[in-house]
Amino acid sequence: MRDPTLSDFPFLSSLASSESPKDRRIWLRVATDHFVATEPSDSDRIEKFIEAMTVQLDAADAEARLEVARKLAPCARAPARLLAALSSFDSEAGDYVLEHAVAYANKELEGIVSRGGRSAIAVAKRRSLDAQIVNTLAAQDDILVLIALASNNSARLEGPTLLDLLRRARRLAEQEGDRRLADALLQRPVQPESALLFLCARPNQRVEILLAAQRSQLGRPIAFSAPTRLTSLDELELAAVARQPERFIALLAEALHCERELARRIADDATGEPLAVALAALGAPNEVLVRILISNDLLAGTSYQRVRALARLNNALDRNAAMMVMAALRDEAVARGAHKLSTEAYPAPASSRATPAGVTKRVGDPPQRVLRK
């Protein structure tokens, strides 16, 4: 087997010691191509190659290093020491090998992630990430690492790992005004768990969240029983009509079994969408929802066209799906099998204005058409 340092080719070998950066770059290119093509197995020759390459890489410019990184990344037998030398450079070449090199074992990647910073960000962008590496990355405190992980659609985020990221994203958005992680998570394919970020989501993202919740409830049994007691729908409506926002918020919090601050955020949202979903979760019939929306001070100035669209949403949205979104906003467990919803939190309405028993609620336009109108 030929020497991977090209010593069998005197002319090429001489380029390594040339004073010309161009000559040395030619040696780097040819030596790397030769190594990748032959994949030598002799440990002494490989060690000699690593030493020669390390010397050349130390003296090379960023462009030459990146070229070597691109050639070595697809090689399954790329020497770990050589990859370490490339990754030690705080440059595009270092990022490239960490993001693309296939020779890394999971244990090595975990060690790289533990260094944090730029190295962890590069690993978070890898197309193939083991579940343990995903969990290690998700446990990092660096927001940039979390954003890189969330932006990587090939990384499988699920279960407790996804829920923890969603909670952190919501906390950052609500307490610090930093939406970056929330935006990255909302750009991923939407899952029912994404309802945790419903209040942080933009209108088109809310549509996707409602559709995901709706799909998760297809074929599920109704999650509430026949009317057994009065609800607070009448009181909510009276508070809205009487222009008593504080009382309205207090009653809404009581009805939703949530903190007043959350009820305030639901009522304060200028689009009216969270309030419409909340009322759907409470089983409010269309006429009650419309009267509350047009009476609520917080929706002053809202066009009747928008109110009609929200009323159509109330028709189209499955109550189980609305309950799921509200449960997520209360930070209760949200999972793919979460159709077993509590009947205590949302007792079936028995308002004097409620839909009569035995009358089936008409299903109108699906949520994506309603909210886009």
Residue 342, pLDDT above cutoff 70 = no
The arithmetic mean of pLDDT across residues 240-249, rounded, is 89
Q: For residue 49, what are its two tokens?
A: 């190659």
Residue 262, pLDDT above cutoff 90 = yes
Say how far apart CA 162 and CA 175 lie, in whole Å.
Answer: 20
Say how far apart CA 2 and CA 8 lie, in whole Å.
Answer: 7
Task: Provide the pLDDT for residue 307.
Answer: 82
Q: What is the pTM of this model?
A: 0.77
The arithmetic mean of pLDDT across residues 78-106, rounded, is 89
CB 113 within 8 A of CB 141: no
CB 289 within 8 A of CB 314: yes
175, with CB counted inside 10 A (0-12, 13-18, 19+), is exposed
Give pLDDT tens digits for 265-313. 999 888 889 999 999 998 888 888 888 888 764 445 556 778 888 888 8
Which DSSP state fits 224? Answer: S
Residue 92, pLDDT above cutoff 70 = yes
Say how far apart CA 121 and CA 203 lie, in whole Å.
Answer: 30
Give pLDDT tens digits for 148-174. 999 999 999 999 999 999 999 999 999
Task: Provide the pLDDT for residue 288.
Answer: 86
Task: Provide the pLDDT for residue 153.
Answer: 93
Model confidence at 368, pLDDT cuts 50, 70, 90, reads: low
Give pLDDT tens digits for 325-335. 999 999 865 54
Residue 237, pLDDT above cutoff 50 = yes
Mean pLDDT of the chain: 82
CA-based R_g, the chain, Å: 29
Q: Is the dihedral of CA 168, 173, 176, 179 positive or negative?
A: positive
Residue 108, pLDDT above cutoff 60 = yes
Residue 353, pLDDT above cutoff 70 = no
Please report, for the chain, how many H helices and E strands are present, in that order: 21, 0
Give pLDDT tens digits for 50-77. 888 898 888 888 999 999 999 999 998 8
Task: Provide the pLDDT for residue 88.
Answer: 85
Task: Provide the pLDDT for residue 40.
Answer: 78
Residue 356, pLDDT above cutoff 80 = no
Higher pLDDT, 200 or 10: 200
The arithmetic mean of pLDDT across residues 17-31, rounded, is 85
Task: Provide the pLDDT for residue 284.
Answer: 85
Give pLDDT tens digits for 187-226. 999 888 999 999 999 888 999 999 999 888 876 666 543 3
Percent over 90 (pLDDT), the chain: 40
Task: Provide the pLDDT for residue 221.
Answer: 64
Say how far apart CA 104 and CA 107 lie, in whole Å.
Answer: 8
Residue 352, pLDDT above cutoff 60 = no
Model confidence at 350, pLDDT cuts 50, 70, 90, reads: very low
Task: Provide the pLDDT for residue 46.
Answer: 86
Residue 234, pLDDT above cutoff 60 = yes
